[in-house]
Amino acid sequence: MKDESRKKINLRRFIHQLWFLLKPSHRKIWWLIFWVILVEIFSLIGPYILKIIIDLIIDFKIENFQIILFWIISMFISNQITSLFTYIKDRKSLEIIADSDFYLANNAQSKMVNLSLAYHERENTGNKIIKIQRGINRIRELLLSLFWEIVPIFFQVIFTMMVLYWVSFWFGLTITFFVPIFIWITLKVNKKVHPDRVKIYKKGEEAYGLMTQSIININTIKSFVQEKTEVNKFKKVNKIVKKSALKVFGTTMKYNLLRTLIINLGRTTILFFGIYLIWQGAVTIGSLVFVVSISEKALISLFRISRLYDQIMESSEPLARLYELSLEESEIKNPKFGIKPKFLVGEIEFKKVSYAYSDNKKKALKEINLKIKSNQMTALVGPSGGGKTTLARMIFRHYDPQKGQVLLDGENLNKYDLYEFRKHISIVPQDVEVFSTTIKENIAYSRPKATFEEVKKVAKIANAEEFINDLDEGYETEVGERGIKLSGGQRQRIGIARAILANPKILIFDEATSNLDSYSEKLIQDAMQKIRKKRTIIVIAHRLSTIRKADQIFVLENGQVVEKGTHNQLTQERCGLYRKLIDLQKLNQVE
């Protein structure tokens, strides 16, 4: 329903959304309109002076030579002033377009990074980024068209009609008759070809997606010898784009013949009335030249607005996306006068916490009650989908409980300043996100002002220095996009070093060893032991060997705590879930 509503463009809504997004430029736009009006008024002065000169030449008298010379100089000055005003108008236009490119992109990026994690999990963020960029490009194209064509032509036609009515009612009537017909034909042809233009846009987007997908998954494509399949899939979609484009061009060219006929009829009618009025003595020859020159300019300009309707149609969807994004609000609200802790004790308590994801009726957490003690290692274990990661993310306030409370040092988590309390928490996820930069900058991301010595120190604690020193460029090694040049274990150790550098009171390991070989797992377990002193450590793990030394273990299943205790205590429960998981791992039946 949402897409269907967008196909039928509501012009008032479109203008409202565009005006809202361009709010920082409102003042400049009003000034631009002032300069456009000034340019269009002055552009009529030159042709009118030419009309006076022609009339003086036709009825030439030697005593009028100085007057003619005066008007020639006046025409030159008028044209120069018009050029100066046009230059100012064009500079103002470029400033607005450059400004809008800058703040639309900045606002979109700022909004995206500040929205809650739940929003990004709900939306296809990768596609959204592409569509936002296209939206900004479409708005730029629309503004170029508006500032250089639509707005100037609108005032040009208005002022031309006023002047023509002033010269003679018949001239004004001619333009008033033919202009609406031309605009009606233009709208009709654009409506007719719009479905094919939408197809070009949609299928072009699909073709772009196929190309991107094939490059991203190039290893799989080559491994299964599917190069021809991918090329043929792309060709098939691209062929539809070509067919639709040819159809649009063919239809537009046919209607161009009709529009040219209207323009020619307008020219002929003006000439007919002009000659008749000269014969009647109602106008001069100079007046006819003046009328022909300004009406010709106005009629030809109408061709330039033929793409307006289509540009609005093409811009409406990306414009709506940017508008909706600008109105989007984070589900996680930062309190206005939140607590800004200088340090944390590191005690976390969940009181009857329940939570369900928006796309799932089943609760991820069901009235969870547990206490994570300060300066201890607490492990969360259990089958996949038990609620372990959801629980950990609530400590960061990526999600808020729908029922119950999460307490940090005895205070409700939602009373803390969001950005201040998060500085005291770090996480090492299962898939460490590595930026396309150097190893040094990746480690220092948690504290960009850290010294090189501090970076080296945490790398050594995380057992990362071992492989870093073997690299040709050491800490200055570029890791490639998404850390493609590093192994899984190496990325994890960089993630641990990054987390340690932040010097957090609470450190979370979310499945940090699940995809690693035994050697890498051992190195990471050693790193955990090195940094656990005076920290609250929370470990989420499937591999139970990782959490044997935990001070307390909570076993979660179906969003509930079903067991708790130490490793030795839980292994004594012969019918318990933890003991069952231990036995299955001994048989290599689970990881």
Q: Are residues 388 and 322 in the same domain?
A: no
Q: Letter for the amino acid at 575?
A: C
HSE-up of 254 (CA within 13 Å, CB side)?
A: 11
Structure tokens at 467: 């492989």
Higher local confidence (pLDDT), 197 or 314: 197
Distance (Å, rounded) from C-alpha 393 to C-alpha 302? 59
pLDDT at res. 122: 67
The answer to whether residue 78 is domain-embedded is yes
Q: In 462-549, which ranges are continuous DSSP H helix?
A: 465-468, 488-501, 518-531
Q: Which of 326, 324, 319, 328 is nearest to 137 (CA)?
A: 319
Please return the burial class of 117, using the count of CB atoms within 10 Å of its CB with bins 0-12, 13-18 and 19+: middle
The answer to whether residue 407 is domain-embedded is no
Kindly report the backbone phi and psi dihedral angles of residue 348, in degrees, each rounded to the nearest multiple of 5, phi listed first: -125, 135
Q: Is the pLDDT of residue 32 over 90?
A: yes
pLDDT at res. 307: 63
The kind and range of the H/E element at 508 are strand 506-510
Tracing tokens 């494509």 back to the chain, one arrives at 221
As a whole number, mean pLDDT of residues 337-346 equals 86
pLDDT-based confidence at residue 589 (cuts at 50, 70, 90)? very low
Structure tokens at 291: 């009328």
Q: Letter for the amino acid at 368?
A: I
Cβ contact 539:553 at 8 Å:
no
Distance (Å, rounded) from C-alpha 365 to C-alpha 371? 15
Angle between helices 488-501 and 452-461 (to 10 degrees): 120
Q: Are residues 154 and 263 in the same domain?
A: yes
Instruction: Show the domain range for 495.
Output: 374-396+414-586
Distance (Å, rounded) from C-alpha 468 to C-alpha 439? 8
Q: Are residues 284 and 425 in the same domain?
A: no
Q: Are residues 61 and 141 in the same domain?
A: yes
Distance (Å, rounded) from C-alpha 382 to C-alpha 379? 10
Q: Are residues 169 and 318 in the same domain?
A: yes
The answer to whether residue 348 is domain-embedded is no
For the stretch 114-161, pLDDT in tens is 777 777 766 655 566 766 777 788 888 888 888 888 888 888 888 888
Q: In what order do the strands lie in the sheet with 348-355?
A: 365-372, 348-355, 403-408, 411-412
Domain of 188, CATH number, reads: 1.20.1560.10
Average pLDDT, the chain: 82
For the stretch 419-439, pLDDT in tens is 888 888 888 877 777 888 888
Q: Are residues 420 and 293 in the same domain?
A: no
Neighbours of 473 (CB within 10 A): 11
The answer to whether residue 409 is domain-embedded is no
Q: Which of 92-96, 207-211, 249-253, 263-267 has the least mean pLDDT? A: 207-211
The answer to whether residue 356 is domain-embedded is no
Distance (Å, rounded) from C-alpha 276 to C-alpha 272? 6
For the stretch 459-507, pLDDT in tens is 888 788 878 888 888 888 887 766 677 777 788 888 888 888 888 888 8
* Structural domains of the chain, count: 2
Q: Are residues 243 and 312 in the same domain?
A: yes
Q: In 376-433, which ranges are continuous DSSP H helix?
A: 388-395, 418-421
Residues facing residue 537 across a β-bridge: 377, 507
Domain of 507, CATH number, reads: 3.40.50.300
Q: Is the dihedral of CA 82, 84, 86, 89 positive or negative?
A: negative
Q: Are residues 82 and 230 in the same domain?
A: yes
The answer to whether residue 148 is domain-embedded is yes
pLDDT-based confidence at residue 61 (cuts at 50, 70, 90)? confident
Cβ contact 519:490 at 8 Å:
no
Q: Are residues 320 and 392 in the same domain?
A: no
Pick the last residue of a domain from 272, 294, 327: 327
pLDDT at res. 126: 56
The answer to whether residue 445 is domain-embedded is yes
The answer to whether residue 408 is domain-embedded is no
Q: In what order do the strands lie in the sheet with 552-557?
A: 425-428, 506-510, 536-540, 377-381, 552-557, 560-565
Q: Rounded to whole angstroms, what are the CA distances from 590 to 166, 382, 420?
A: 90, 11, 39
Q: Is the pLDDT of residue 227 over 80?
A: yes
Q: Are residues 420 and 524 in the same domain?
A: yes
Q: Are residues 284 and 391 in the same domain?
A: no
Cβ contact 314:201 at 8 Å:
yes
Q: Would strands 411-412 and 403-408 be described as parallel, antiparallel, or unpaired?
A: antiparallel
Q: Letter for the amino acid at 378?
A: T
Q: Which of 268-277, 300-309, 515-524, 561-570 has the least mean pLDDT? A: 515-524
Cβ contact 417:338 at 8 Å:
yes
Cβ contact 328:119 at 8 Å:
yes
Structure tokens at 152: 């100037």
Q: Which of 220, 72, 214, 204 is nearest to 134 (CA)?
A: 204
Quick one: DSSP state of residue 146? Answer: I
Degrees (nearest 5) of the Cα angle 34, 38, 40?
Answer: 120
pLDDT at res. 127: 60
Neighbours of 67 (CB within 10 A): 13
Cβ contact 494:465 at 8 Å:
no
Cβ contact 498:425 at 8 Å:
no
Distance between terminal CA atoms of the chain? 44
Q: Which of 31, 151, 37 is nearest to 91 (CA)?
A: 31
Q: Are residues 11 and 120 in the same domain?
A: yes
pLDDT-based confidence at residue 164 (cuts at 50, 70, 90)? confident
Cβ contact 501:446 at 8 Å:
yes
| Helix and strand numbers, DSSP H then E, in the chain | 21, 10
Taking the mean position of all CA atoms in its chain, how far away is CA 332? 21
Q: Which of 350, 478, 487 is nearest to 406 (CA)?
A: 350
Neighbours of 561 (CB within 10 A): 21
Cβ contact 42:269 at 8 Å:
no
Neighbours of 396 (CB within 10 A): 18
Pick the last residue of a domain from 327, 345, 365: 327
Q: Is the pLDDT of residue 6 over 50?
A: no
pTM for this predicted structure: 0.70
Neighbours of 375 (CB within 10 A): 15
Distance (Å, rounded) from C-alpha 577 to C-alpha 587? 15
Q: Would strands 536-540 and 506-510 be described as parallel, antiparallel, or unpaired?
A: parallel
For the stretch 186-220, pLDDT in tens is 878 877 887 887 787 778 777 877 887 787 777 78
